[in-house]
Amino acid sequence: MARIPLDTAGRPQVLIVSDSLGETAELVTRAALSQFTAQLGDGAVEVRRFPMVTNPSDIEGIVREARVRPTLIVYTLIVPEAQEAMTQQAEAHGIVAVDIMGPMISGFTQVLGVAPRLQPGLIHQMDAGYFKRVESVEFAVKYDDARDPRGFLLADVVLVGLSRCSKTPVSMYLAHRNHKVANLPLVPELSLPKEIFDVPRWKMVGLRVDAMHLSRIRAERVRAMGAGSGVARSENYADLARILTEIEYAESVFKRLGCPVIDVTSKAVEETAVRVLDYVQTGRRMLGLADPAGGP
């Protein structure tokens, strides 16, 4: 299939319409769109979000924008009047529109026998759980890559591993589940911060990765960053011999710290995060400690 030029007026678009923030619809949209990236190329489809749409009169203007080029409208509208307006306008102008939330609410209504509240934005209410999640994400950003070693003593989880072994993605994944995570990149030429030796061993997990796999990831990183970047100027960053030296050093650190180690070579971020929590929560239960994230 031919790739779609990005500079043409007929570039396909997805209009995400929501009476809340539209995050749910965009997540589903991009997950579905990823199935077409290989055929069309990155950026072949423009994705635009229209949040906080609660007035049926706003729908007409959005549909008008959909008529100028190939368009899919994806919407999560809870207010019945807005939902009906979208359905009518899309059908009247032959626009393909996908209702994500409606069928789910209808299904739950049938199974549960309870009428929905039909109130936009309930999932984003500013409750205690929301603020704790924000706090955890901010913590993960602040203490990423050992920017401030004091974070090791404040964290719920401490990840240790070489550069490009998924420390930051796993940290952010856990942060969105209310865990405060700090991570330490291992570099043979740099001394370990003294704070790391005061971290309880049950809250620390090492991440290891296959040398060839790491070499490929780093080589791709160098290409993505460009020749002028600091990463690219490190000529041996993706060199296999250098990586083998780093892996040997990392294994010695894991042994020195006495922490469990997970091989992340063939694991998705989610799978690694689950394994990390298994280790940490097992240690916490053995000591009779409560889960700071509020989970089981």
> What CATH number is given to the structural domain containing 262?
3.40.50
Residue 295 has pLDDT above 60, yes or no: no
9: pLDDT confidence band, cut at 50, 70 and 90?
A: low
Please check whether residue 190 lies inside any domain of the structure. Answer: yes
Cα(114)–Cα(70) distance, integer angstroms: 39
Are 213 and 255 within one domain? yes
Out of 53-57, 102-106, 112-116, 149-153, give the one with best mean pLDDT.
149-153
Are 278 and 201 within one domain? yes
Out of 109-113, 132-136, 257-261, give the one with best mean pLDDT.
257-261
CB 82 within 8 A of CB 56: yes
Residues 166-210 have pLDDT tens digits of 999 999 999 999 999 999 999 999 999 999 999 999 999 999 999
Residues 6+ apart with CB under 8 A from 142: 148, 151
Q: Which residue has the higher pLDDT, 7 or 293?
A: 293
Are 244 and 191 within one domain? yes
Q: Which residue has the higher pLDDT, 31 or 250?
A: 250
Are 132 and 113 within one domain? no
Residue 1 has pLDDT above 60, yes or no: no
Please check whether residue 81 lies inside any domain of the structure. Answer: yes
Confidence at residue 3, expressed as pLDDT on a 0 to 100 scale: 39
Are 193 and 224 within one domain? yes
Computed over every residue of the chain, the mean pLDDT equals 88
Number of domains in the chain: 2
Q: Which residue has the higher pLDDT, 96 or 22?
A: 96
Cα(74)–Cα(185) distance, integer angstroms: 41
Are 201 and 146 within one domain? yes
Q: Given 123, 145, 170, which residue is the final one in a domain? A: 123
Are 66 and 176 within one domain? no
Confidence at residue 127, expressed as pLDDT on a 0 to 100 scale: 60
Confidence at residue 4, expressed as pLDDT on a 0 to 100 scale: 37
Q: Which residue has the higher pLDDT, 258 or 289?
A: 258
Please check whether residue 3 lies inside any domain of the structure. Answer: no
Q: What mean pLDDT comes out for the span 37-60?
A: 86
State CA 102 to chain mean position distance: 25
Please check whether residue 2 lies inside any domain of the structure. Answer: no
Are 78 and 221 within one domain? no
Are 211 and 245 within one domain? yes
CB 260 within 8 A of CB 205: yes
Domain span at residue 93? 13-123
Are 79 and 152 within one domain? no
Q: What is the DSSP string of the chain?
A: -PPPPTTSTT--EEEEEESS--HHHHHHHHHHHGGGHHHH-TTSSEEEEE-S---HHHHHHHHHHHTTS-EEEEEE--SHHHHHHHHHHHHHTT-EEEESHHHHHHHHHHHH-------TTGGG---HHHHHHHHHHHHHHHTGGGSSTTHHHH-SEEEEE-TTSSHHHHHHHHHTTT--EEEEE--TTSPPPGGGGGS-GGGEEEEE--HHHHHHHHHHHHHHH-TTSHHHH-TTTT-HHHHHHHHHHHHHHHHHHT--EEE-TT--HHHHHHHHHHHHHHHHHHTTPPPTTS--
Q: What mean pLDDT comes out for the span 226-255?
A: 83
Residues 112-144 have pLDDT tens digits of 998 887 777 666 555 667 778 889 999 999 999
Q: Which residues partner with 75 through β-bridges?
A: 17, 99
Q: In this prediction, what percent of the chain has a pLDDT beyond 70?
A: 89
Are 25 and 144 within one domain? no
Confidence at residue 2, expressed as pLDDT on a 0 to 100 scale: 37
227: pLDDT confidence band, cut at 50, 70 and 90?
A: low
162: pLDDT confidence band, cut at 50, 70 and 90?
A: very high
Q: Which two tokens stand for residue 159?
A: 């990840």
Confidence at residue 132, expressed as pLDDT on a 0 to 100 scale: 86
Confidence at residue 285, expressed as pLDDT on a 0 to 100 scale: 86
